[in-house]
Amino acid sequence: MDHPIKYNRVLLKISGESLSGEGGFGIDRDQLHKIAQQCVDVQKAGAELAIVCGGGNFIRGAQFTQDGTFPRTTADYMGMLGTVINALALQETMETLYPGDEMSVRVMSAISISRVCEPFIRRKAIRHLEKGRAIILAAGTGNPFFTTDTCAALRAAEIEADALLKATKVDGIYDCDPKTNPDAKRFDNLTYTEAIDKRLKVMDMAAFTMCEEREMPVIVFDMGVPGNILKVVKGETIGTTVGV
C-alpha cells in the first residue's frame, strides 16, 4: 500500500561525509547521484524539501585547528565554504535527474556569495518551498563555532518544518557504537531529554534543545538504503524518532 505523506515540509540534514567516497574527502559522483535521486523522489512525491549540507568532506574547523597553529575562525569559514561546494553539486545533480520546471532547486547561502547563489532570506526560502522548489541551505549559520547540525535545527525552526530528518550512515540511534559493540541496542523512540541526558553523539546538544523547544521530531536514519528518505517523509517507522 502506498503511504501518504506524513511530513509535508521537511528539513533534511546531509553530512558532507555522505557525499564522499572512500577516504571521506571530496565528492564521489556515484554517492552524489544516489543522494540526489532520493531527494528528487521526495520532491516528486509532493513534499516541501529543504536541505542543509554539511562540509566535513572538505574541512571541519575544530579538527583542522587541533594543533593550535591555525585560527579556528578561519578554519570554520573554510568549512562553511565547503558546504557551498556540496550544495552546488547537489543542486546541479538534482536538476539533471529531473529536468524541466518541475524540479527547480535553489541554493541559499548564509554568507553572501551573490555571483554564485542567493542569500538566505527566511521569507524567500518559504516562498520557494510553497512554489514547489527544493532549497539547499549552504554556509551553515554563517557564524564560526557552530556546526551544520545546529544550523539544521535553526533553519528547520525558521521555516517551520514539520520534522528534521538527520540522514546518517547508521540505521538509528544506539546506546553505544554498533560498529565496535555487537550488543549495541537501537532505540525506536527517545525523548529529547533522554537523547540529551545520554549524551548520544548523534547531534549537538544545542540542536536537540532547539528542536525540543518547538516539539519538532528529529528522525535519525540510514540514508545509504535507497528510498529511505521518502519512507521517513511518509512516516514509515525506520530509524529512531526523537520527540515528546
| Residue 117-156 contact track with ligand UDP, rule CB under 6 A, x = bound | -----------------------xx-xx-xxxx-x-----
From residue 193 to residue 232, the character string flagging contacts with ligand UDP as x (rule: CB under 6 A) and all else as - is ----------------------------------------
Q: Nearest Cα to 7, choosing from 192, 224, 218?
A: 218
What amino acid is encoded at 97 in this protein?
A: L
Residues forming a β-bridge with 137: 52, 108
> In sequence order, what E strands does 15-162 have?
48-53, 105-109, 118-119, 134-138
Cell digits of residue 89 = 553539486
Report the run of H or E that residue 150 belongs to, with start and end. helix 148-158
Judged by CB under 6 A, which of 10, 32, 42, 80 binds ligand UDP?
Answer: 80
Residues 29-68, one symbol each (x = binds ligand UDP by CB under 6 A, - = not), give: -------------------------xxx---xxx------
CB 58 within 8 A of CB 16: yes
Least Cβ distance, residue 236 to ligand UDP (angstroms): 24
Q: How many whole angstroms separate alpha carbon 150 and alpha carbon 194?
A: 18
Task: Pick the closest to residue 189 from 169, 201, 203, 173 (CA basis).
Answer: 173
Nearer CB in complex with ligand UDP: 103/229: 229
Report which DSSP code applies to 84. Answer: H
Instruction: Copy the grid coordinates of residue 25.
Output: 574527502
C-beta of 15 vs 93, nearer to ligand UDP: 15
> Which distant-in-sequence residues (6+ apart) come within 8 Å of 112 by Cβ?
119
Residues 149-168 that bind ligand UDP (CB under 6 A): 149, 151
CB of 133 to ligand UDP, least distance (A): 23
Binding residue (CB under 6 A) for ligand UDP from 35, 40, 42, 76: 76
Q: Which is nearer to ligand UDP, 76 or 212 (CB)?
A: 76
Q: Quick one: 25 or 234, whose CB is closer to ligand UDP?
A: 25
What minimum distance in Å lies between the beta carbon of 62 and ligand UDP? 6
Inter-residue contact 82 to 16 (CB < 8 Å): yes
- Using CB under 6 A as the binding rule, whether residue 187 contacts ligand UDP is answered as no
Tell me the window of 10-18, 123-131, 183-191, 195-203 that interacts with ligand UDP (CB under 6 A): 10-18
DSSP, collapsed to helix, strand or coil, labels residue 210 as: helix
For cell 500500500, the residue is 1
Q: Which residues contribute to the site for ligand UDP (CB under 6 A)?
A: 15-17, 54-56, 60-62, 75-76, 79-80, 82, 140-141, 143-144, 146-149, 151
